Structure 1
Amino acid sequence: MKLRFSHLRWRYWALLVLGFILALVAARQALRPLWNDPVIVVEIGGTYESMMERSTTRFSPLIRGHIWAGSPKSDARLRFIDSQFGFETPLARFLSVGFDDNVVDDLRMSPQIEPLLIDDAMKVIVDLQTQWCAKGWKPMGTQGDPTIADTPEWRAYVRQGVLPGVSFWQAGDKYQAMLILARFRDSRHLDQERYLITLAVAEPWIPFDEIEDRRLESHHFPPPLPEKGAIPCPSQPS
């Protein structure tokens, strides 16, 4: 009798543990986005509703009939979707999407969750520009704002903290991107050099084809020029 009672108790605990494991697996499947990086999927000209269907994190509620901006409720990657010009960023703590009613108008973000050391900041810059080169984006206004590169000259330029590095990119006649790299005083790491990246994307707002590039001579603190003969997007066919 005692043996049977022990056997039944063992089966009871085994079934209880099994049930707990199955419940945990089911909950994990139901909440799967919480175990992966949350993603905000943005399409310029797309709708708020379409963005929310594709994204894996909560976002500010829709404000009908107004020009407004919202942001995700958690750190999130940006997945910028376009059949030709799409790209993706690292996790971002600041990510703001602008709307006209329910239509996506622009986005502004810092593709990082904290100010970065220069090595890490340059990795983000290089990765974004590599994606753009591969997808057919072109650097613009390079006479006045040369493309940011991971070179000793560029590192020395931004390290001084006088002016940020700024580069402009354009995707056909559909989008422009402004990429900024600046030194940032991080109160949590006063003994370290930290850097902030800013990215803005919208329909073209600077008519580069209609204006002369700003001349470097007009800069009181000119950014580094690329090496002679350097190709900003060597992976692109000429």
Structure 2
Amino acid sequence: MNRRSRLFARHRLSGQLILAFLTLAVTSVWFQSVLDEPEIVLEIGGTYEDMRKNSSASFSPLIRGHLWLGIPKTDAQLRFIDSQYGFITPAARFFTVGFDDNVIVDIRMSPQVEPLLLDDALKVVLDLQNQWREKGWMAMGVRNNPTIADTPEWRAWLGDGERSGITYWQAGDKYQVMLVLGQFNDPRNPAEERYLITLALAKPWTPFDDE
């Protein structure tokens, strides 16, 4: 091997080592960011104490002997734990947990940290619906409130600021979710159509006829 070939091989090896190092560094940062994502981990019927013990996001103090609402002290994703029906949301800025004394009775949140463009909002909604479908949740009341889909018809419906998409899902006789997607007037982006997702979760509260 002549001198030029040796130099070329050395530079190529150096480049490969740098690339490998950068790839490892990026992967480590990404993995750490996933691990560091603040989470509220809870179950309906669970206790405030268990939620605090299992969560990585700090939470407002317990108020004993009252019906009350608590909130995370930072943006946080929800990890809803159930052996069959559990699911995970993106990080949320609006996130309230309802308590009866120290027992969790409901959750209301927007699984986003800012109003989203329609493409991004639909990705969140479809991911949640897919998680529920895969875990055995059933769409309810679909005759009047069909599941939300990324179709021209749904986009046209949601593009009318007076309309929202509402869908209900139920996990046996244990839990019910109402998911709402609609336009939101975002003063920071007045020239854009931005969307807000609202999720409510509790024990079943709305009856549905079999459809």
- In structure 1, the partner of 2:99 is 99
Q: Which amino acid aligns with 1:148?
A: I
| 1:209-224 matched pairs, under 5 angstroms | 209=209
- In structure 1, the partner of 2:10 is none
- In structure 2, the partner of 1:67 is 67
- In structure 2, the partner of 1:49 is 49
* Secondary structure of the corresponding residue to residue 91 of structure 1: strand
Q: Please identify runs of 4+ aligned residues in structure 1 that moved more than 6 A.
A: 32-35
* Secondary structure of the corresponding residue to residue 170 of structure 1: strand
Identity among equivalent pairs (%) = 63
Q: Which amino acid aligns with 2:149?
A: A
Q: Which amino acid aligns with 1:201?
A: L
Q: Which amino acid aligns with 1:73?
A: K
Q: Which amino acid aligns with 2:143?
A: Q
Residues 106 and 201 of structure 1 are in contact (CA less than 8 Å); yes or no, is this contact kept in structure 2?
yes
- Which structure has the highest strand share of the two? 2
- In structure 2, the partner of 1:147 is 147
| 1:27-42 matched pairs, under 5 angstroms | 36-42=36-42
* Secondary structure of the corresponding residue to residue 90 of structure 1: strand
The structure with more radius of gyration: 1
TM norm structure 2: 0.82
TM norm structure 1: 0.73
- In structure 2, the partner of 1:4 is none
What does the per-residue CA deviation read over 1:155-192, in whole Å, with 9 as the maximum and x for residues that have no partner? Answer: 11011111210000000000000000000110000111
RMSD: 1.6
- In structure 1, the partner of 2:112 is 112
Structure 2 distance, partners of 1:34, 1:165, is 30
- In structure 1, the partner of 2:135 is 135
Structure 2 distance, partners of 1:151, 1:111, is 22
- In structure 2, the partner of 1:178 is 178
- In structure 2, the partner of 1:159 is 159
Structure 2 distance, partners of 1:205, 1:159, is 30
* Secondary structure of the corresponding residue to residue 90 of structure 2: coil
Q: Which amino acid aligns with 1:129?
A: Q
Structure 1 distance, partners of 2:182, 2:95, is 18
Structure 1 distance, partners of 2:48, 2:190, is 40
Residues 33 and 57 of structure 1 are in contact (CA less than 8 Å); yes or no, is this contact kept in structure 2?
no
Deviation for aligned residue 1:92: 0.3
* Pair 1:208 & 2:208 matched: yes
Structure 1 distance, partners of 2:111, 2:162, is 22
- In structure 2, the partner of 1:76 is 76
* Secondary structure of the corresponding residue to residue 132 of structure 1: helix
What does the per-residue CA deviation read over 1:22-67, in whole Å, with 9 as the maximum and x for residues that have no partner? Answer: xxxxxxxxxx899711000010000000000000011010000000
Residues 181 and 196 of structure 1 are in contact (CA less than 8 Å); yes or no, is this contact kept in structure 2?
yes
Deviation for aligned residue 1:84: 0.3
